[in-house]
A and B are shown apart, each in its own frame.
Chain A
C-alpha cells in the first residue's frame, strides 16, 4: 500500500513550479467543493508522477510529472487555487 503524505511534502516542488509559496494557498476541489490549504491535501509521491488528491472525496486535483528538469503540471481537478 502506498502511504499518503500531505501538501507540505511538495512545498519545494510547488515553489519551483509556481515561483511562490503555495502550501498555505487555498484550493477548491472541482468535484466536492471542499476548500482548504494545499498543506492539507493528500499527496502520493511513489508513483511515476506526484498525485495530489482531495482529502475528503479522493478526487485527483493535481498531477506533476518531471522529465529532464521540466515539470509538467496538470491542475484539472481544482476548481480554484490561490
Chain B
C-alpha cells in the first residue's frame, strides 16, 4: 500500500480534574469532567497530553476506569522514571485542567450482547479496563458469569481492593500474589502459569470470551496458555502496556 502524509483529525479537548482517590500507595484514580465527551465503551482508553512551559509535550495512554454512563475516570500507576505518571499521581489537584483525546479503541471492548461467560485476566494495573467491563456488566444488569484472575505483587498493591472484595452476583474473583502474601494467605502465590490457568478458566466448550490486560510478558504467557487450553485466538482479546507511551 502506498504511503501518504495527512493532517490530524482527532481533536484534543480540555478536561477538569474532579475527585482524586488513592487506590494504593502508587496508584490513583482521577475523575475527569470532560464537557465535550461523546461517551465511551467498556475497555477503551484515552490519551493525556502534558505541555511544559518550554513547549515540550508528552503524551500517554490510560485505560478508562469507569463504565459507560459514569463520569470519565482514569486510574494511573506511578512509574519510577515516568515523565507523565508522577505528575498525574503526585502533583495534580482537583480543579486542575488537563488535555485529553478519546475515547480510543474498538477491539478491546465488551458489550453485553457479546455474551460470555467472561474470563478476565489482569496483571497489575491491567485491571483498569477490566474494572470498566465489570462495572458496565453490573450497570446493564447483565447476568453473564465472570471469572477474574488478578495478579498483583502483594495485597496492598491490589487496585480496587474494596470493590473486588464485594463482587456483584455471578462474579468470581481469584487473586494471585506474586511477591508477598499476608499471614494465613491460602490463595495463589506465584506468577500466572499454564497450571493455574487450567485450574481457573472456563472450559473452552462453554464458548468463553477472554480479555487479557497487563505487562507484555504477562499477556504473552496468558494468551499462549489459553490457546493451549483450546481457546480460539479470536476469543482472546489482549492489551499490552509498557513503561513508555503505551496504554496503562
Contacts and interface: CB of A to CB of B under 8 A. Distances in A.
A15 B5 contact: no
A16 B45 contact: no
Contact of B1 (A3, A24, A78): A78
Main secondary structure of the interface of A (DSSP, over half): mixed
Given A21-B105, A23-B106, A69-B8, A6 B3 contact: no
Interface string A2-22: 011111110110011101011
A60 interface: no
Interface of B: 1-10, 45-47, 59, 61, 101-102, 104-108, 216, 219, 233, 237-247
Contacts of B239: 6, 8, 39
A46 B3 CA distance: 21
A45 interface: yes
Contacts of A80: 1
Interface of A: 3-9, 11-12, 15-17, 19, 21-24, 36-40, 43, 45-46, 69-76, 78, 80-81
A6 B45 contact: no
B3 A74 contact: yes
A69 B213 CA distance: 31
A21 B44 CA distance: 11
Nearest to B243: A3
A46 B83 CA distance: 14
A75 B3 contact: yes
Given A19-B9, A76-B3, A78-B1, A6 B104 contact: no
Given A40-B238, A71-B5, A11 B244 contact: no
Sorted nearest first, the 7 A-B pairs with minimum C-beta distance are A39-B107, A75-B1, A21-B106, A11-B104, A24-B106, A5-B246, A9-B246
A6 B10 CA distance: 20
Contact of A23 (B2, B47, B107, B244): B107
21 contacts: A5-B240, A5-B241, A8-B107, A9-B242, A9-B247, A11-B61, A12-B10, A12-B59, A12-B104, A15-B10, A15-B104, A21-B106, A24-B107, A43-B246, A46-B244, A69-B7, A69-B8, A70-B7, A72-B3, A75-B1, A81-B1
B246 A37 contact: no
B165 to A, nearest CB: 29
A38 B216 contact: no
Contact of A73 (B5, B106, B247): B5
Contact of B240 (A6, A12, A38, A72): A6
A3 B242 contact: yes
B61 A73 contact: no
